[in-house]
């Protein structure tokens, strides 16, 4: 029960490609890349907003909804 060798990982990768197909895996990778870029831009934007001390900036993409979470208090 040791660590997996490179052959184990290659077989797992082959099975994943056979199950999902290369096109679907490419789409998943693309979507993941967009999500990571969006997260980085969001963090960068948050740092800029807190440094400026101003209100949140307008979002250019109208399909994005910007919300603010509030902590729930016990009554």
Q: In this predicted model, what pLDDT tens digit does every residue of 6-56 receive, in sequence order?
A: 999 999 999 988 998 888 888 888 999 999 999 998 888 766 666 665 555
Question: Residue 28: inside a domain, yes or no?
Answer: yes
pTM summary value? 0.42
Count: domains in the chain: 1
Question: Residue 67: inside a domain, yes or no?
Answer: no
Question: Residue 36: inside a domain, yes or no?
Answer: yes
Question: Residue 62: inside a domain, yes or no?
Answer: no
For residue 2, what pLDDT is reported? 63
**Which range of residues forms the domain containing residue 26?**
21-49
For residue 58, what pLDDT is reported? 58
Question: Residue 34: inside a domain, yes or no?
Answer: yes
Structure tokens at 43: 């963090």
């Amino acid at each position: 029960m040791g660590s997996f060798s490179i052959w184990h990982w290659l077989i797992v990768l082959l099975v994943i490609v056979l199950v999902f197909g290369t096109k679907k895996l490419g789409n998943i990778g693309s979507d993941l890349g967009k999500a990571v870029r969006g997260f980085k831009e969001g963090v960068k934007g948050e740092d800029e907003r807190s440094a400026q001390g101003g209100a949140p900036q307008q979002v250019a993409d109208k399909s994005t909804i910007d919300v603010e979470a509030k902590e729930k208090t016990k009554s």
